[in-house]
Amino acid sequence: MNVNKKLSNIIFMAAFALFTWMWSDKYDGVITSVLGGIETESDIIDILGLGKWLFLFAVYFLILNKMLVDNRKTLLFSLYRYRDFKSWWKQYFFRLHITMFLYYLISCIVWYVIGVVTDNSSSHAVEIMIIFYMHLAMYFSIIAAADRILNKSITPCILILIEGVTYIISVQYRQIVLTFGMYRRMALMDNKWFQVIVPGIEFIVCWLCYFSVIRLWKKDKLELL
């Protein structure tokens, strides 16, 4: 990714953070309001809140998908620089995660600064940022692996759909466990260990995605180009 694209993405993420702050709850802490998910104990589905929640994923997925599309265009030339596909996939997978983490960090810094300046900081800001990012990182891994295995860009849309459907089901049937990416809803659970276990499971999923691509390549079941 060239410097101009990186700079434009940085500006885009900062603008995105400002935009999400504008429609956040000014009385609940900026980071809690934006990244904490939908707070509700009733059987009423918060359509507006769900739209805001899914919008967060859509923006990060958009940036990631642009990177994946650019990679497909130069994949043949990139592979020549490495001994084998495994070496390329290793650096590619982790570079994607590092790049997306930096973009996520930019938006978090903007939210945090706004919270401090407006005296509306979140008491559990760090915990919320970690929980949301692990959820996001799991999706990044799934998208990156699916892009290599399927060579299609439909995965982000499917994940957003799943995120929306699981929220609706969790409200209708009072299954908070299905919305494990939302700090606000996880906080309603009696078992606080769940907030520790879930990021661990998501971390494992990230590694499974990474190794699944390597395993398929070794079995010669992966279409490289």
pLDDT tens by residue, 133-185:
999 999 999 999 999 998 777 999 999 999 999 999 988 888 877 888 888 77
Structural domain harbouring 37? 3-218
C-alpha to C-alpha distance for 164 and 49, rounded to whole angstroms: 11
Kindly state whether residue 224 falls inside one of the protein's structural domains: no
Identify whether 223 is part of a domain: no
84-93 confidence digits (pLDDT tens): 888 999 999 9
Would 21 be classed as within a structural domain?
A: yes
- Domain for residue 97, yes or no? yes
Tell which residue, 34, 16, 38, 14, has the closest CA to residue 24.
Answer: 34
Cα dihedral 27, 28, 33, 38, rounded to 10, equals: -110
Residue 225 lies in a domain: no
59 domain residue, yes or no: yes
Number of domains in the chain: 1
- Report the alpha-carbon distance of residue 92 to residue 90 in Å, rounded: 5
List pLDDT tens digits, range 29-85.
788 888 888 876 667 888 988 999 999 999 999 999 999 988 888 877 777 888 788
